[in-house]
Structure 1
Amino acid sequence: MRRLLVLFAIAALISPAAIRRLTHSQYNNTVRDLLGDQTLPADNFPTEDFVHGFKNQASAQDIPPVLAEAYDSAAERLARNAFQGGQDANHLIPCKPRNAADSACAAQFIRAFGRRALRHSLTGPELQRYQTLLLKEARRTGSFIGGAQAVIEAMLQSPKFLFRFDGPAARLSYFLWDTMPDDLLFNAEESGALSTREGINQAVRRMLDHPHAKESLDQFVSQWLRFDLALAAVRDRSLYPQFTPELAISMTEETRRLIADNVWNGRNFMDVLTANYSFLNSDLAALYKVAAPPSEFARVDFPADSGRAGVLGHGSFLTLTSKPGDTSPTVRGYYVREQFLCQQVPDPPPGTNSNLPLVTPERPQTNRERLKVHVENATCAGCHTLMDPIGFGFEKYDAIGRYREKQTILFFPDRRAKDQTPAKVVVDLDTSGVVSGTRDSAFSTPKGLGEVLARSAECHACMVKQLFRYAFGRMEETRDGDTIAGGLEAFRGSGFRYKELLAFMAESAALRKGGN
């Protein structure tokens, strides 16, 4: 409890604008690389909030009591597991203690482990404090490992572990790898190599070729494109019986693989909006009505006349922007504005009536017809003209991403009588869409909108801004103009190679100085 009170006090004194906390994914990755622990302890922590589109924004990274308690429990469990059966299976102790209270070995262990856990070389007072703790616990338990376990538990609850008082090595690693630095990065920092442009460039190029970079990109993509909403989606089973949690996972995997293939093979990143192919398994192939691939998540080309292309034609996007029983042109348009154009759509005024006209067998209406009330109401029109016309262009793709030439509306005589056959009314769909405020932006398919966005200067700039927000843990401000402009110039100059944008952001002067 005393440790928790200390953590509360420190967290209260730390300005969110000045320092960041490990995200749950960073916590999991860090204890994996630090301790060899694969149990993903942060998956049991309280859910993180999305702020400005991401889960790593400093303004939302306080430590409420329930999270502090989770940290306390995790630290105790991780320290215990680090020496299961009284053995140092992960070789955390770099020396062989002569006895339980070997002070020389204790100092050697604390320096080595503390450098990695707290991400800096320990000061004299820090070394003394942890050495006192280790020797006290070693004498009490009669075991050097018992003392080492106490040190690990204490360090995992230290603000210097949980918060990012980052030097250049940690700033690079938590951006490009989503985890702690390795020994090469620590050594580069201590030698001064990360104080030079050449040294940073060499480190960044090495890091981008490491498997951790691929894991980190996956984490960024999953937040930017809000995979959590697709994975949490529910559907009316009477309308979408084939929709399952497993299918939702496949949908996000498709998008993840398309983007990873693009980035790590040096393709034009704007192609993720227009690609006439994807990476499908048999379930997705059946959903899209294309031939099943010979293996799971193999490349499949879409027919030449298909309107499905790029991530906006994926089941992930089309599902997460829909409702349990139908599509939502408004949500689809909102998502495009926010995620791909970085345009914030205001919330509706308090007391706004969001009810739409009721659909009946006598008066069947498409979503487009029902949503006319938005533009007829002056209170609603200002915002909905930004969203609805974009969403209309997706209306031939239903709430789980299936193509439909027309919309079939079902009317059940009595919802409680499941054995009754519903009445069906088939209506034509007008899928003409437009991105209001953007020239030459008429489209009628996901492929068409992808082409509009791929050539849009606003979309290009938004790609840079989204990565900036993720890298720096905050929204861009006026003072960040040079960083954003430089990133956009590097992105365009490379032929929109995303790997080059990652490198620019990692090497930027703003990130080198801490980004606050």
Structure 2
Amino acid sequence: MRTQGMPPLLAEAYGAAAEKLALNAFRAGDVHALLPCKPTSARDVRCRDQFVQSFGLRAFRRPLSGVELRRYAALFTAQAAKTGQFLEGARIVVEAMLQSPKFLFHVESRAEAGSTGGGFRDYEVASRLAYFLWDTMPDRRLFEAAANGELRTADGIERLARSMLDQPSARQAVDEFFAQWLRFDRVLGSVKDRRRFPEFTPELAAMMVQETRMLLDNLVWKDGNFMEAFTADYSFLNADLASLYGMPAPSGEFELVRFPADSHRSGLLGHASFLASNAGPVETSPTARGIFIREQLLCQHVPNPPPGVNTQVPEPTADRPLARRQRMQAHVENPTCASCHRLMDPIGFGLENYDASGRWRDTEAIEFEISGARGRVASKTIELPIDAKGEIAGLASSAFSEPGAIGRLLGESRACQECIVKQLFRYAFGRMETTADRETVRSTFAAFRESRFRFKELLIALVRTPQFLDGL
């Protein structure tokens, strides 16, 4: 059994929020139309029960049990009798329900439909569908489907799911999945050296995210091959991103733009959202870029370095200027570091032609400050050649010599294709997959592949699995 607790401070915060929301709900009367009836008095039992049942259905995302109905009805009656106001009874019920674990958490009873003490399995499936495909609670149609037993078979779930994907909420939910999977928060929180990258601003970071979001949305909602996300020779750019990429500004905002053959850009790995978020404020980080590809795109865990290990690479000097790749040789020379860094660094080396902001560079510029006569400090820049050869260890025939080849290798890799399925599984179920989930991942991947990697079909395949019907 999986359980979840709540620290006292968080419980106190939820209590305060519930009190405020309940007060605001009826501050000016029933302006939000929460009452399904018009009470005749503070003691109107019929209207009281209708309100408790209707609000309870929405708050708990299922009908109230008989015990729950009596409990909240008694709470309502006590407050309404004390104040002489029907709305005060409603307010206290709202405040109480908004603090209930049945409102705050997704409750998985694992009860069979129609069983005593739990016959809410259909409503749990409705909630699972809504929060997965809409990122919000079920609407009236889903509640009706649960009440009518329409969600007890894979075919029934598929029919509802396909209609749900036609709603605007589905686009928002899919965008949220992409934001979590591709770590858009890292992009938006990136900081760059203002002297080296004056063009990098929070606004530009948001534009980077928008570019990636629009590419993925285009593939999802136009039923494209989703693996094209790694090889696309086009993107959606505005003037600022076009300038960063060294291309002419498009005539409009975030128009579809084809990359010229000499642009060195294709797919997600050519997007500044990936390149800038997996780099430091000044320098690139082949390790960070390699870790991202290993963990987010191949679903392979890279352990943290052992305690006490020095992860710093030697700094270049004017007497011995070394490119980033040469300095990182220390990783493979140290046996403690080598086993992991051989999995990450050779991937990141293939992306070294992109600087820390995502701009293409033919050479790596290293700046030094040199003391001159009379204590004056002079600046010196040395341009070093970039060696972009590398490999993705563990993938067959994975050696490459230019960045675009990495995207092609990933797009054709079963490991990457399966990883997309696993990432969606983690998002849907709120946990990592285990050995017990292998059949779900296998069948979902088979359907994804048979659909020629249509992302909407991946969503449908996952909600059709017995595990989605049965719950966590």
TM range (shorter): over 0.9
Letter in 2 for 1:383: C
What is the Cα deviation at residue 281 of structure 1?
2.1
Residue pair 1:435, 1:442 contacting (<8 A) in 2 also: yes
Q: For 1:186 and 1:401, how far apart are their aligned partners in 2?
A: 47
Which of 1, 16, 20 aligns to 1:77? It is 20
Alignment of 1:309 onto 2:251: no
Q: Secondary structure at the match of 2:193?
A: coil
Identity, % of aligned positions: 52
Letter in 2 for 1:368: R
Which residue in 1 is equivalent to 2:428? 471
**Cα distance change of structure 1 residues 332 and 506 upon mapping to structure 2, 3 Å threshold:** same
Alignment of 1:121 onto 2:63: yes
**Cα distance change of structure 1 residues 280 and 101 upon mapping to structure 2, 3 Å threshold:** farther
Which residue in 1 is equivalent to 2:7? 64
Q: For 1:463 and 1:210, how far apart are their aligned partners in 2?
A: 23
Residue pair 2:154, 2:465 contacting (<8 A) in 1 also: no
Q: For 1:493 and 1:373, how far apart are their aligned partners in 2?
A: 45
**Cα distance change of structure 1 residues 325 and 119 upon mapping to structure 2, 3 Å threshold:** same
Residue pair 1:307, 1:448 contacting (<8 A) in 2 also: no
Q: TM-score, normalised by structure 1?
A: 0.85
Q: For 2:169 and 2:300, how far apart are their aligned partners in 1?
A: 31
What is the Cα deviation at residue 472 of structure 1?
1.4
Q: Secondary structure at the match of 1:506?
A: helix
Which of 190, 197, 200 aligns to 1:233? It is 190
Deviates more, 1:473-482 or 1:451-460: 473-482
Which residue in 2 is equivalent to 1:200? 157
Letter in 2 for 1:212: S
What is the Cα deviation at residue 224 of structure 1?
0.6
Letter in 1 for 2:9: V
Q: For 1:178 and 1:77, how far apart are their aligned partners in 2?
A: 24
Q: How does 1:37-436 map to 2 (within 5 A)?
A: 62-84=5-27, 86-166=28-108, 167-413=124-370, 422-436=379-393
What is the Cα deviation at residue 413 of structure 1?
5.0
Q: Secondary structure at the match of 1:116?
A: helix
Q: For 2:379 and 2:84, how far apart are their aligned partners in 1?
A: 75
**Cα distance change of structure 1 residues 412 and 72 upon mapping to structure 2, 3 Å threshold:** farther
How many residues in Structure 1 have an aligned counterpart in Structure 2?
453
**Cα distance change of structure 1 residues 129 and 364 upon mapping to structure 2, 3 Å threshold:** same
Higher alpha-carbon Rg: 2
Which residue in 1 is equivalent to 2:118? none
**Cα distance change of structure 1 residues 413 and 196 upon mapping to structure 2, 3 Å threshold:** same
Q: For 2:298 and 2:229, how far apart are their aligned partners in 1?
A: 15
Q: For 2:345 and 2:401, how far apart are their aligned partners in 1?
A: 13
Q: For 1:421 and 1:257, how far apart are their aligned partners in 2?
A: 45
Q: For 1:420 and 1:248, how far apart are their aligned partners in 2?
A: 34
**Cα distance change of structure 1 residues 447 and 140 upon mapping to structure 2, 3 Å threshold:** farther
Q: Secondary structure at the match of 1:192?
A: coil
Q: For 2:13 and 2:205, how far apart are their aligned partners in 1?
A: 29
Long gaps (5+) in structure 1 = 1-14, 20-60
RMSD: 1.7
Residue pair 2:219, 2:226 contacting (<8 A) in 1 also: yes
Q: For 1:322 and 1:214, how far apart are their aligned partners in 2?
A: 29
Deviates more, 1:380-389 or 1:88-97: 88-97
Q: For 1:292 and 1:138, how far apart are their aligned partners in 2?
A: 65
**Cα distance change of structure 1 residues 198 and 146 upon mapping to structure 2, 3 Å threshold:** same
Q: For 1:117 and 1:369, how far apart are their aligned partners in 2?
A: 59
**Cα distance change of structure 1 residues 421 and 72 upon mapping to structure 2, 3 Å threshold:** farther
**Cα distance change of structure 1 residues 368 and 482 upon mapping to structure 2, 3 Å threshold:** same
Q: TM-score, normalised by structure 2?
A: 0.92
Deviations 1:127-150 (A, max 9, x none): 122122223323444432222222
Letter in 2 for 1:158: S
**Cα distance change of structure 1 residues 66 and 410 upon mapping to structure 2, 3 Å threshold:** farther
**Cα distance change of structure 1 residues 400 and 142 upon mapping to structure 2, 3 Å threshold:** farther
**Cα distance change of structure 1 residues 106 and 490 upon mapping to structure 2, 3 Å threshold:** same
Q: For 1:357 and 1:105, how far apart are their aligned partners in 2?
A: 75
Long gaps (5+) in structure 2 = 109-123
Letter in 1 for 2:76: L
Residue pair 1:310, 1:446 contacting (<8 A) in 2 also: no
